[in-house]
Chains A and B, each alone.
Chain A
Amino acid sequence: MELSRPVSQEQVHLRAGTLPVRGRLNAFTIALLGFLSRRRWLAVAALAGPGMLLVLALVVVPAVVMICMSLWDVQNYSLVKEWNIENYKTVFTDKLYTETLFRSVRIAAVVTFFSVLLATPVAYVITFKIRRRRTFWFGAVIVALWVGYLLRIYAWRIFLGQDGVLNGILMWLGISDEPVMAFLFNDFAIVLALVHLCTPFALVPIYAVMQQVPDSLHDAAFDLYASRIRSFFQVTLPLCAHGIVAGGSFAFILSFGDYYAPTLIGGPGGALISNIAASQFGTSLQWPMGAAIGMVMFAVVLLVLAIPFLLTSFITRRRRAATAIGPTEIVTNRSEEA
């Protein structure tokens, strides 16, 4: 029933996203009118209406308020609605903010790299090596999440601290005579705790995508004398690329936005950009500044999430170009030979 309905050329363009803006608006009105005339809007309004209200009230409006607030000012401990861009100027020029921002991005990038590096072999082993009781092993990794966000960071403090377990074990075994201070209160500890926090989250999409890779492809690769490693890099990895990108995005979003790890186990100068943003809403009462930092963080996240998207579209465009050129090249070569 749905399929047999004639589809206008404009709708085809609209779906493919190839219409110019003017045409898109036109097609949108046509679609809207058709939609309204079929009375389906009643069903949609009943089903999705409350959700739209929720999204409007708790996602859209707050975002707009944050944007506005980032352009306001605080004087004498109260909000002054005078539009200005001073907060952004400070974020982009004050060394405290710029350096912390770069350090936060760097730490989040390192955490993302290691989370994906750890999650990928786990997904691979569960999918292709264990086979039986896959769900149990996947669950075993995910259960590691269940002690709680804060506890998983704080546990590293027990483990790495001066009187901590690692030092205790090292001295107990006679490897060191004195407690080693270097484990805790530095960027290494932050990265370690955040990798631990993010790895299960990175695993979920990577595992889900790897489930879709058919075994027969590996058999084919082996039949063609590819080694395991080669079949992994040339068959499995490209097929799982979008899962890895999703997992990496999760890890980046989570680690870039975390402000508990630096507070609990970071060094004295360990504050990250999220700590600075959070502190603006605490005792310092600098809400507009906090909102501006929030906006900058949002921009960074969007930028980072766009990287894989831009990269893949670039690669596919180049591939398309290559296939377009390919055959003609062969022809010219042949003519030269002749």
Chain B
Amino acid sequence: MSGGFKALRPMASESVLWISFGLILVFLYIPIVFVVLYSFDTNEIMTWPPSGFTFSWYEKFFNNSQLLAAFLNSAKVAVASIVIGLLIGVPSAVAMDRFQFPGRGVYQKLLMMPFVVPGILGGITLLTLFLLVDIKLSLLTVIAAHATLVTAAVVLQTSVGLARIDRELESAAMDLGANEIRAFFNVTLPNLKSTILGSILLGATLSLDEVTRTFFVTGGDNTAPMQVWSLLRQGITPEINAAATLLFLVSLILLGIWANTVKEETR
């Protein structure tokens, strides 16, 4: 870094780097900015410049019983698939972490399948099964689709979490007379707190925003994104912007909670 011309080149590459970083962030935020902006705009046709400030789209959203019902359905599906995901994913991750068993590798790969295969194929495979055995499409079939996805997320997160935990702690507990099960519940599980919270939040975001699988297996009761989809096909309405802004706000709050718990644990 000795002055003169030589210092210019690293500075040039440095500024190029920072400028591209800024531009990429702008690119990523364009949709959010405009969705939020036009959720408050009086003009029904979203165009530049914005014409005035209003809350009427939010009022419309809260009076739209179909959209609200869809949001409730989404919440039900998310809760159900997260419960299934945790009950199945956490023990599976523990089994794969603690035991060498025949077929372990295959089982792990099958669990991770929903991440490796495009969502559309998850939807098509499930739909062909439901069509063949004549299962009526409903929220239950949607939950089945989401559960595979959420379980994969839980297994992934828990495996990473378990790998981080110091196994000596468990041995210490067992030296003090705890059996394997007690050591797990009293030592390992409390250490997995932020991991489990993280997988709940990841599961929630995956489930609440799932559209590629849901499209195939949804019945009469729509989830929120599928209701948005049917609205989008009818034509654009700023109500959707209001709904999206609210959903974004909720996600931000969830993210904040998660970030805070993680911070507390690392302290």
Scoring B residues 20 to 55 as 1 if CB is less than 8 Å from chain A, else 0, what string do you get? Answer: 110011011111101100100000011111000000
Asked whether A305 lies within 8 Å of B259 as measured between CB atoms, the reply is no
Q: A32-B102, A66-B124 in contact; A51/B118 too (CB < 8 A)?
A: no
Other-chain contact of A44, B48, B99, B125, B251 (Cβ < 8 Å): B99
Asked whether B29 lies within 8 Å of A144 as measured between CB atoms, the reply is yes
Asked whether B212 lies within 8 Å of A258 as measured between CB atoms, the reply is yes
Asked whether A297 lies within 8 Å of B120 as measured between CB atoms, the reply is yes
Interface size class of chain A, counting residues whose CB lies under 8 Å from the partner chain? 35 or more
Asked whether A121 lies within 8 Å of B17 as measured between CB atoms, the reply is yes
**Residue B127 is within 8 A (CB to CB) of chain A in the complex:** yes
Residue of A nearest to B247 (CB): A148
Which A positions have Cβ atoms within 8 angstroms of B? 28, 31-32, 35, 40-41, 43-44, 46-48, 50-52, 54-55, 58-63, 65-66, 69, 79, 118, 121-122, 124-125, 129, 135, 139-141, 143-152, 154-159, 163-169, 172, 196, 199-200, 227-229, 253-254, 256-260, 264, 274, 277-278, 281, 287, 290-291, 294, 297-298, 301, 305
Chain B residues with CB below 8 A from A31, complex form: 102
Number of A-B contacts (CB under 8 A): 242
**Residue B138 is within 8 A (CB to CB) of chain A in the complex:** no
Chain B residues with CB below 8 A from A200, complex form: 28
Cα A257 to Cα B117 with chains together (Å) = 9
Which B positions have Cβ atoms within 8 angstroms of A? 9-10, 13-14, 17-18, 20-21, 24-25, 27-32, 34-35, 38, 45-49, 84, 87-89, 91-92, 94-96, 98-102, 107, 110-111, 113-114, 116-121, 124-129, 131-132, 144-145, 147-148, 151, 155, 205, 209, 211-212, 215-216, 225, 228-229, 232, 236, 240, 244, 247-248, 251-252, 255, 259
Asked whether B21 lies within 8 Å of A121 as measured between CB atoms, the reply is yes
Q: A54-B148, A62-B125, A149-B211 in contact; A40/B99 too (CB < 8 A)?
A: yes
Asked whether B31 lies within 8 Å of A35 as measured between CB atoms, the reply is no
Could you name 19 residue pairs across A and B whose Cβ atoms are closer than 8 Å?
A47-B94, A50-B87, A51-B92, A59-B114, A79-B131, A140-B25, A144-B32, A147-B35, A147-B248, A150-B232, A155-B35, A158-B38, A159-B31, A165-B47, A172-B48, A256-B118, A278-B216, A290-B124, A301-B116
